[in-house]
Amino acid sequence: MRKLFALIAVLGMLTIGASKLMAQEDEAAPAAQTEQTTVSIDDEQIESTSMHAAIKQKFIEGGAGFMACVVLCLIFGLAIAIERVIYLNLSDTNTKKFIAGFEDALNNGGIEAAKEYCRNTRGPVASIFYQGLSRYDQGIDMVEKSVVSYGSVQMGLMEKGLTWIGLFIALAPMLGFLGTVIGMIEAFDQIQAAGDMSPALVAGGIKVALITTVGGLIVAMILQVFYNYCVSKVEGIVNNMEDASVSMLDILVKYEQKNK
């Protein structure tokens, strides 16, 4: 019996000791994790600071004049592109839902109710529907001509500003190439003045001259993505307008036959 009690006592002491050891490890783990997190945050801050410093250094090396022109192309191009993206996304509506509501308004309230429904709906599809209904008293043929004409107007409004984005896409690399050519000329002038054709001097001058080209190409690639997105968005909306116009004419023909 005494041996049994002694064995139980030993097991109890071992259990208590193991629990205390695990508790100490649990307390030490958050401290180590916190320290590791702090170190990683400091590393990220250092990396971010070094990246900004490197970009600033490359901007200065490329020549403030040409690099500033390239950056201005990026700023103006992005401003126009973002405005176009917002406008086109607001212009894109659920065409099927709109046509169903238009048909219900026309059948229940007539032409005036359908015009009011179009007036209270945003988007180019609603606009061309409203213009077509405004000529309904002149016949279906006039409605069709009005829809086609005003569809061209809406397409022009959606494509507004895209030519400027295309200009900045072409202009940014050209400015970069111009800066590179001028930089190469200056580099060769420095080589001629130094009277030394050392590889280090030649490589340094060429490296600085090529920075403007890199900047111009980066700007062109960024703006090209936005330009292609806007063009594809316009094409999609125009296709919806054409399909909706055909549906509108069919609905008006049925409405006219029903009310004869």
Mean pLDDT, rounded, for 127-141: 89
The per-residue pLDDT for 202 is 67
pLDDT at 135 over 60: yes
For 136, 235, 244, the CA distances from 248, given in Å and listed in that order, are 12, 20, 6
Query: Measured on CA atoms in the order 121, 125, 131, 137, is the torsion positive or negative?
Result: negative
**Which has more pLDDT, 225 or 189?**
225
For 111, 168, 172, 226, 228, the CA distances from 80, given in Å and listed in that order, are 38, 10, 15, 10, 14
Question: Given pLDDT bands bounded at 50, 70 and 90, which one contains residue 260?
Answer: low
Residue 65 amino acid letter:
G
The per-residue pLDDT for 57 is 58
| Residues shown for the chain | 260
Q: How many CA atoms lie within 13 A of 187 on its CB side?
A: 23
Q: What percent of the chain has pLDDT over 90?
A: 29
195-240 residue pLDDT tens? 766 666 666 667 777 888 888 899 999 999 999 999 999 999 999 9
**Which has more pLDDT, 173 or 186?**
173
Burial class (CB in 10 A: 0-12, 13-18, 19+), 117: buried
Mean pLDDT, rounded, for 242-249: 90
pLDDT at 41 over 80: no
Question: Given pLDDT bands bounded at 50, 70 and 90, which one contains residue 60?
Answer: low
Q: Is 63 left (phi over 0), alpha (psi -120 to 50) or beta?
A: left
Mean pLDDT, rounded, for 239-252: 90
The rounded mean pLDDT for the chain is 78
Domain boundaries, the chain: 59-259
Residue 43 amino acid letter:
D
CA distance 75 to 182: 24
The per-residue pLDDT for 198 is 67
The per-residue pLDDT for 128 is 92
